[in-house]
């Protein structure tokens, strides 16, 4: 293994807080070893741009730790505080077209990399793994996603910050809900997994948390139980409530709805009126239920990375560089029982690919897990 190496780094899939912190960590650790580091813009699209002559290898070279603020603050190392990705990222497109795949492989070869560090979620890592096998790349994967659904790692980069962001939003919405005696229905990200809804819902004081693993669709039974939860709260003297729903929960006919919180808010009002009309005294408090729906949207992907995500980025970045230095390629960097280690990709990727073929989440919330049990014991309705 030569002393001086050329390694590449790219971010792929949706952005999340902490990506720049990982880029910074990789550059610092690699340049400390005397290596050259090249940042690939917009994921694998950067290899195509390179092959088509739209950029040169020198354009992609990363120096020192990335970026210094000029002027009086010159020397301030700012990358670890910034959200998004300075390299850019794409969360659509699949180079299944042989011609496109060939351009990517040729661009990689043109750059003359000895190894690649790819930062992505389960979907983008699946795509990169296919390319890596075709091109015989030596690479190391780093998991990042606010959904926290990459298998074999207890936590992915960006998840902690997203939980904090959603928790703050729930805190703020609680007070407007209380001021107007409203039921606030809040939609959070989580197309296939409810980790974000569950963690932030508990931390943010939610009364109801709905996620694909326990309530895959809003059946009549689920909506009825939500209304009964609200009635119970009102009997106890609290006239407002906070309902958190992951975007992956479907309508009763098993259709995805980009604004599922609006549908749920409407159905809560309808079912509350039905229960109230039954004449049962326990539902008399549902006579004037007022609901509001809020989609938090892409604000969940933003914000200054939390201290934990910055530390995780530093440790993940260092581990990736150390794996390359040890010629220990084709590994997924993971967080396992409070330590950073790695798993062989020939163990990780077949499981991810099989999950995708079967249309299921590779690392969903465990319906019998301790956090779900904790939510139930706290009196939160999470489904059956």
Block residue for tokens 């260092």: 318
Nearest of 149, 151, 170, 147 to residue 159 by alpha carbon: 147
DSSP assignment of 14-51 equals S--TTHHHHHHHHHHHHHHTT-EEEE-TTTTHHHHHHH
User: Are 165 and 299 a contacting pair, CB within 8 Å?
Assistant: yes
Block residue for tokens 């590449």: 8
The pair of three-digit structure tokens given for residue 104, joined into one six-digit string = 């990517």
- Using CB atoms within 10 Å of the CB of residue 74, give its burial: 0 to 12 exposed, 13 to 18 middle, 19+ buried: exposed
Query: Is 172 a catalytic site residue?
Result: no
64: left (phi over 0), alpha (psi -120 to 50) or beta: left
Determine which one of 15, 122, 129, 147 is catalytic. Answer: 147
- Using CB atoms within 10 Å of the CB of residue 203, give its burial: 0 to 12 exposed, 13 to 18 middle, 19+ buried: middle
Phi, then psi, of 110 in degrees rounded to 5 = -60, -40
C-alpha span between 5 and 30 (Å, rounded): 9
> Long-range contacts made by residues 338-344, C-beta under 8 angstroms, separation at least 24?
340/315, 340/316, 342/140, 343/152
Residues marked active site are found at 147
């Amino acid at each position: 293994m030569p002393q001086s190496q050329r390694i590449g780094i790219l971010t792929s899939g949706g952005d999340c807080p902490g990506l720049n912190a990982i880029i910074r960590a990789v550059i610092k650790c690699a340049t400390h070893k005397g290596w050259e580091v090249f940042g690939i813009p917009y994921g694998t699209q950067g290899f195509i741009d390179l092959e088509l002559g739209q950029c040169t290898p020198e354009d992609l070279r990363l120096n020192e730790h990335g970026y210094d603020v000029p002027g009086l603050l010159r020397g301030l190392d700012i990358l670890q505080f910034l959200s998004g990705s300075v390299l850019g990222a794409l969360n659509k497109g699949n180079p299944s077209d042989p011609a496109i795949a060939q351009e990517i492989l040729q661009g990689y070869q043109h750059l003359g990399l000895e190894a690649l560090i790819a930062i992505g979620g389960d979907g983008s890592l699946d795509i990169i793994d296919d390319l890596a096998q075709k091109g015989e790349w030596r690479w190391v994967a780093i998991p990042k996603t606010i959904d926290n659904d990459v298998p074999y790692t207890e936590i992915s980069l960006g998840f902690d910050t997203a939980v904090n962001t959603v928790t703050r939003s729930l805190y703020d919405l609680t007070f407007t809900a209380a001021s107007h005696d409203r039921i606030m229905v809040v939609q959070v990200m989580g197309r296939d997994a409810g980790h974000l809804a569950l963690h932030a819902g508990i931390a943010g004081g939610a009364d109801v948390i709905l996620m694909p693993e326990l309530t895959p669709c809003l059946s009549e039974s689920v909506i009825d139980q939500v209304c009964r939860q609200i009635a119970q709260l009102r009997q106890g003297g609290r006239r407002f409530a906070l309902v958190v729903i992951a975007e992956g929960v479907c309508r009763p006919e098993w259709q995805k709805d980009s604004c599922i919180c609006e549908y749920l808010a409407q159905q809560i009002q309808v079912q509350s009126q039905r229960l109230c009309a039954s004449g049962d005294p326990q539902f008399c408090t549902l006579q004037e239920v007022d609901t509001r729906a809020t989609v938090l949207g892409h604000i969940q992907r933003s914000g200054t990375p939390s201290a934990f995500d910055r530390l995780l980025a530093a440790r993940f970045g260092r581990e990736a560089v150390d794996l390359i230095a040890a010629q220990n390629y084709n590994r997924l960097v993971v967080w396992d029982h409070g330590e950073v280690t790695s798993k062989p990709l020939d163990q990780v990727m077949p499981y991810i690919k099989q999950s995708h073929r079967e249309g299921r989440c590779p690392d969903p919330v465990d319906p019998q897990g301790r956090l779900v049990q904790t939510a139930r014991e706290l009196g939160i309705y999470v489904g059956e």
